[in-house]
């Protein structure tokens, strides 16, 4: 069964809806502007979040010390790297804490596929260039991926069946469960219902 990650939770009500719907992961974003939250906000949201649901911290070129500190404080239980982080960063995090590491890649050709396949992260996340845009990339490249991956970018409840044909480990959704930039309970419900049906 495909797993589901609700990414970009910012408000207490987002977390309470997630508790009811039980996605496999939620994402707290520590980068960008649109969905970014502070460490303090993340700590408060984590306290509200069901302990069974791991919180994934999403980072773009953040100091590894900051990432490690959030894991050590049990604010996040997994790490998602979205910048130019390399194998040395992954090793540093791994030496300091035990948690799954996800590394994001944009797929536009064979070279991108090769880079993603070689990543030392536990999982890779595949998306359109830039990430967080709600844009879909050409999914034909997914046929070449031979390791567990999170699929992100332009996902909605309506395209889950098509996405499932590429056998992603997990679907990572953010804008597809939003209305006017805020998480939408009905869209969250529909997305998880469709994902669990397949």
pLDDT tens digit string along 94-113? 999 999 999 999 988 889 99
Average pLDDT rounded to a whole number, residues 86-94? 98
| pLDDT tens digits for range 134-159 | 667 789 889 999 999 999 999 999 99
DSSP state letters, 92-159: HHHHH----EEEEEE-SSHHHHHHHHH--SSEEEEESTTSSS-----GGGGGG--S-EEEESS--GGG
User: Which CATH superfamily, name and number, covers 3-197?
Assistant: Aldolase class I (3.20.20.70)
pLDDT in tens, 9-26: 999 999 999 999 999 999
Helix (H) or strand (E) holding 45: helix 39-48
Other beta carbons within 10 Å of 196: 13
Residue with tokens 């049906």: 197
**104 bridge partner residues:** 125
Stated pTM of the model: 0.95
């Amino acid at each position: 069964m495909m797993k589901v990650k609700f990414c970009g939770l910012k408000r207490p009500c987002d977390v309470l809806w997630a508790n009811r719907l039980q996605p496999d992961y939620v994402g707290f974003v520590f980068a960008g502007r649109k969905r970014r939250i502070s460490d303090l906000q993340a700590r408060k949201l984590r306290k509200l979040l069901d302990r069974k649901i791991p919180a994934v911290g999403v980072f773009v070129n953040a100091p590894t010390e900051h990432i490690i500190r959030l894991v050590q404080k049990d604010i996040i239980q997994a790490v998602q790297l979205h910048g130019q982080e390399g194998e040395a960063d992954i090793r540093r995090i791994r030496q300091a804490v035990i948690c799954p590491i996800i590394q994001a890649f944009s797929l536009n050709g064979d070279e991108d596929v090769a880079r993603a396949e070689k990543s030392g992260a536990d999982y890779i996340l595949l998306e359109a260039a830039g990430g967080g845009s709600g844009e879909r990339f050409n999914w034909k490249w997914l046929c070449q991926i031979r390791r567990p991956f999170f699929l992100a970018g332009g996902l909605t409840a309506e395209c889950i069946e098509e996405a499932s044909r590429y056998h992603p480990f997990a679907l990572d959704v953010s804008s597809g469960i939003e209305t006017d930039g805020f998480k939408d309970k009905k869209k969250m419900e529909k997305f998880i219902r469709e994902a669990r049906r397949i």
